Amino acid sequence: MGGGKLNITIPLTWPKAMIIALLIGLAGPAIAQSNDAIHLGVQTCGASTCHGAVQPWQNSTVLQNEFIIWSTHDAHSNAYKSLLSDRAKRISARLGLGPPEQAATCLNCHANNVPAEKQGKNFNIADGVGCESCHGGAENWLGTHVSGVSSRPELVAAGMYPTEDPIARAELCIGCHLPNPDRLVNHRLLAAGHPRLAFELDTFSVNQPAHARIDDDYRQRKPDHNGAKLWAVGQAVSARQQMRGLAQTMSRNANLFPELTFFECGSCHRPFDSAIGADRVRAGLGPGEPQLYDANLVMLRAIADAVDPDIAQRLKNQTRALHRASRQGAGAVARAANELAELADKLATRLNGTPPDRNDLRAILNTLASRQHAAKYVDFGAAEQTTMAVAAILETLGEAPDPGALDQLYDATQSPARFNSRGFANALAQLRESLKK
Ligand code: HEC
Ligand code: HEC
Ligand code: HEC
Ligand code: HEC
């Protein structure tokens, strides 16, 4: 969503509020947390007559028990508490950060870390990643929201975050779930003991778990999206953010080493035996050349292959150029990454407007399961993304494959340190067979 040029037609029937929201949206990816409003705190949203009901309400448009779902099933309500754990203390001590629950580096992702003057009287940092971390500071929309008279576009214009839009949602989640320059789980954090971040929009939306009831009433207010659409748009936005993050970090970096969080971990972290060497070559790189993480680009290419062969070819060439650039230096990588970010941005908009249809999804699935493609999944990152992709697509197609194949895919991608590339290739072969039936 680059700012600047405005070449869209706005239907005349739209309320003014929606148009304003659209224009604000064009200014750049908003992070819900950082909107200007005062954040009123989870307690304000979670009152028993609001979103704090014990059971879902039958005659209400929304479930009303979102607070209970969030506080009992959603890891986000635990995000601040995680900073009090021994693991967090160890990570923080190794980095010389002091108490993690006071370190902005940690709080930016593990809580709704807005400045003191933006915290309302019920605000409590210990709530972790609360309602307003995702839905936006409530100061300016709570009034009309409670009165029940405001439409969705009006609420969005008043600062409620457009979580129903796949691009906006992906940007929101990725703000904390993938490496990006503002909130970066960098290689130092990883080496100090922070879990490796992995993200896929559909899987993570389901796992959160979702607290919206998609019914007729919902569809009147908001668009509904199938899992494969969330997956496809999520890949495009992930690729774009990763490439932007890589470009920015490269441009700022004055270290001997580049920021390793943007590389495929398994390039360096695997057992080795100098007598045997490695025949592991991918992405046009030779043995011993660490490879940038490109799993989202690989997925995006499988999507583009089905929906737009021209773009697919450009993606292929530019991805190769990116890997080549990693031999040439930081400036070359930044340029190649920026070009890829632009291409991914185009695809995000396009896939959001016209998601892959059933035929496209079949084609994508066949690509991901193909022998030729499988040969490329010798690293963990692409294997992990393939697994989540296959699950999302099969679910949307309503097809149950050989359950053994899916289980095997999950098994092979349990952990980067124990990644079993042969097991993964076998699982894909089994999937290939089951798709033929
Ligand atoms: C403000 C930062 C932030 C935002 C925004 C955010 N998350 Fe998270 N998320 C976290 C943190 C931190 C954790 C880890 C919580 C813990 O266990 O300490 C987490 C955990 C999760 C988990 C559990 C992961 C696991 O391995 O158990 C899921 C699923 C998840 N988030 C999905 C999402 C989705 C979907 C979105 C977007 C709609 C999103 N998150 C937006 C910070 C965020
Ligand atoms: C860019 C956002 C981000 C930053 C910065 C960040 N975290 Fe996290 N953290 C996450 C996410 C997301 C997860 C969940 C990972 C998953 O399971 O997918 C997580 C997980 C964790 C966990 C494991 C929680 C569990 O339940 O197992 C600990 C501990 C942790 N983080 C501590 C820290 C500390 C300490 C800092 C500061 C030094 C920090 N984090 C900075 C996003 C972040
Ligand atoms: C990690 C991000 C995240 C957090 C935290 C979060 N939500 Fe949500 N919420 C979403 C997403 C994504 C959706 C689904 C998209 C949509 O319907 O807009 C959603 C949907 C909803 C809906 C359904 C709206 C409808 O139109 O049917 C309600 C109500 C809601 N959330 C309330 C809450 C409340 C209350 C809290 C805190 C207790 C909360 N949410 C915490 C991301 C989040
Ligand atoms: C270019 C090579 C390279 C890449 C790529 C790389 N690392 Fe590292 N990693 C290192 C080096 C070097 C160390 C320091 C080892 C030491 O302290 O002796 C290290 C240390 C670590 C450690 C501390 C434990 C240990 O083995 O020392 C963890 C955990 C870690 N890396 C995780 C990751 C993750 C996760 C990724 C992918 C996002 C990654 N690394 C990518 C080279 C790499």
Token pair 């999950």 is found at 410
Q: Encode pLDDT of 82-122 as tens digits.
A: 999 999 999 999 999 999 999 999 999 999 999 999 999 99
Give the start-to-end residue ranges of the domains of the chain.
16-224, 229-270+280-436
| The pLDDT value given to residue 184 | 85
How far is CA 382 from each of CA 39, 113, 294, rounded to the nearest angstrom? 38, 33, 7
- The pLDDT confidence band at residue 333, using thresholds 50, 70 and 90, is very high
Which of 379, 372, 371 lies closest to 420 in space, CA to CA?
379
Query: 16-224 has which CATH code?
Result: 1.10.1130
For residue 109, give every residue at least 6 positions away whose Cβ sits within 8 Å of its Cβ, in sequence order, or none.
Answer: 79, 129, 176, 183, 185
Q: Is 109 in the pocket of ligand 2 (CB under 6 A)?
A: yes
Q: Which two tokens stand for residue 57?
A: 């309400």
Q: Which two tokens stand for residue 147?
A: 């009165």
Residue closest by Cα to atom 2 of ligand 3: 134
Q: Are 142 and 44 in contact (CB under 8 A)?
A: yes
- CA–centroid distance, 427 to ligand 3, in Å, is 36
Amino acid at 430: Q
Q: Which two tokens stand for residue 113?
A: 């870390």
| The pLDDT value given to residue 11 | 37
Higher pLDDT, 150 or 165: 165
What CA–CA distance (Å, rounded) separates 149 from 157? 14
User: Which contacts of 404-410 are long-range, i.e. CB under 8 A and separated by 24 or more positions?
Assistant: 404/430, 405/430, 405/431, 405/434, 406/431
Asked if pLDDT for residue 402 goes beyond 80, the answer is: no
Q: Is 409 in the pocket of ligand 2 (CB under 6 A)?
A: no
Q: Encode pLDDT of 89-99 as tens digits.
A: 999 999 999 99
From 87, 246, 269, give the residue whose CB has the most ligand 4 atoms within 8 Å, as the site to mutate.
Answer: 269
For residue 290, give every residue at least 6 positions away whose Cβ sits within 8 Å of its Cβ, in sequence order, or none.
Answer: 263, 264, 267, 268, 326
| The pLDDT value given to residue 434 | 87
Higher pLDDT, 31 or 190: 190
Asked if pLDDT for residue 28 goes beyond 70, the answer is: no
| The pLDDT value given to residue 255 | 83
Q: Encode pLDDT of 240-297 as tens digits.
A: 999 999 999 998 888 888 999 999 998 888 877 777 766 666 778 888 889 999 999 9
Which of 173, 163, 161, 235 lies closest to 385 in space, CA to CA?
235
Residue closest by Cα to atom 36 of ligand 3: 131
Which protein residues touch ligand 1 with a CB less than 6 Å away? 33, 75-76, 78-79, 82, 109-110, 129, 133-134, 169, 172-173, 175-177, 204-205, 207-208
Q: Encode pLDDT of 35-58 as tens digits.
A: 789 999 999 888 877 888 877 877
| The pLDDT value given to residue 2 | 34
Q: Is 163 in the pocket of ligand 3 (CB under 6 A)?
A: yes
Q: Encode pLDDT of 370-385 as tens digits.
A: 988 887 778 899 999 9
Q: Is 85 in the pocket of ligand 2 (CB under 6 A)?
A: yes
Q: What is the separation of C-alpha 157 from the centre of its chain, rounded to a whole number of angstroms?
A: 24
Q: Which ligand is nearest to the CA of 234?
A: 1
